Amino acid sequence: MMHFADSLTFSGRKVVAAWAALPFPALSGSSLPDILSAQQQDVPWKLLSSWREQKVSCCFAQSVVLRGICQGKATSCQGQPRSPLHSCESPEQVLQQFFHTQFPGAFSTSHVLQQPCDTRPPFPQFFSPLLTRRGFLQDKAQGYSSGGVESIPVLAALQSSPGLRWLLSGLCRELRAPSLRRRSCFFTAGVEQDDFQEALEELKTLSQCYETGFGASEDEGDSD
């Protein structure tokens, strides 16, 4: 676990963002290379962390887990692979190739588990009627309610990316705001003024670890 944490939080970065595709958008019977090739340069997940969602074009490191999708038989044209993804020999290699293309130069690890995510009750039943009982997409709605979805394929990731600077800088600004009520909560709990200021400086330093040199002007107002 320590090695896993270190692989995502090097160079002073200690915060990662969580992303997930729940369910992973896959047509029944499609292979993983076919599914990812159809994404058209978009990463098939949504942000779970509490900062404004934006298109992430680069990252420092990420760890990705895919559940419930087998390699399957990829389609080809006249016996030739349709894309580099179709040339891969394992699901892990497919994911590695896909994310290498999406985030060149980033450190990525990929893991594939055959077992899907169990969604039988008491799991919340909020699924589209276009899902099969196994969580795959289809053209027409099922004749039963969404409560009939028993499992789904899932893609989840932890990612260290430059966008986290916005989250950390925003938190630093909020804590620096002249709000007597907010600060009094810290001091009532026994936090010393010097310790509070030191924590703010450490938070500011942490946010600067996510700078890339591109678009720095966007957050120029963060510095004091």
Are 23 and 95 in the same domain?
yes
Q: What is the mean pLDDT of the chain?
A: 81
Cα–Cα distance between 128 and 135 in angstroms, integer?
Answer: 9
Q: How many domains does the chain have?
A: 2
Residue at which a domain ends, from 138, 160, 182: 160
Are 8 and 27 in the same domain?
yes
Are 16 and 66 in the same domain?
yes
Are 170 and 154 in the same domain?
no
Cα–Cα distance between 32 and 24 in angstroms, integer?
Answer: 11
Are 137 and 169 in the same domain?
no
Does 217 score more than 50 pLDDT? no
Query: What percent of the chain is modeled with pLDDT above 90?
Result: 25
Are 33 and 143 in the same domain?
yes
pLDDT tens-digit series, residues 101-131: 888 888 889 999 999 999 998 998 888 888 9
Token output for 194? 């010097």
Cα–Cα distance between 99 and 43 in angstroms, integer?
Answer: 9
Does 2 score more than 70 pLDDT? no
Residue keyed to tokens 């509490």: 50
Are 145 and 209 in the same domain?
no
pLDDT at position 152 is: 95
Are 6 and 36 in the same domain?
yes
Are 14 and 42 in the same domain?
yes
pLDDT at position 211 is: 85
Instruction: Reduce the secondary structure of 30-53 to three states and give it as a string.
Output: CCHHHHHHCCCCCCCCEECCCCCC
Residue 180's domain comprises 164-222
Are 19 and 100 in the same domain?
yes
Residue at which a domain ends, from 160, 176, 206: 160
pLDDT bucket at 202, cuts 50 / 70 / 90: very high
Does 206 score more than 90 pLDDT? yes
Span 184-213, mean pLDDT?
A: 85
Are 83 and 12 in the same domain?
yes
Are 31 and 142 in the same domain?
yes
Residue at which a domain ends, from 119, 137, 160: 160
